[in-house]
Amino acid sequence: MKTIDQYPKPTKHGPECGEFNGAKIFEYLDCTDGQRYFYAAVLAPDESYCDVDGSEIVLDPGIIYRPE
């Protein structure tokens, strides 16, 4: 799993498709690694672990995006 400083940084986003804990959820993110990541899910607030694979990114407050 990537650490937070290894995550690609969003440079552009698609349309807003929701909100989670005060943060906007976007349909997709274009990132500094050249990939497009699509909204996949949010982390359950009561979970003590995160079951994501190494290709996904998780942004505060727990929004998960998967590569195209």
> Which residues contact residue 43 at a Cβ distance below 8 angstroms, ignoring those fewer than 6 apart?
50, 58, 62, 63, 64
- pLDDT higher than 70, residue 27: yes
Do residues 37 and 47 touch, judged by C-beta distance below 8 A? no
User: How many independent structural domains does the chain possess?
Assistant: 1
Q: pTM for the whole thing?
A: 0.80
pLDDT per position as a tens digit, 29-66:
999 999 999 999 998 776 656 667 778 888 888 899 99
**Domain span holding position 16:** 4-45+52-67
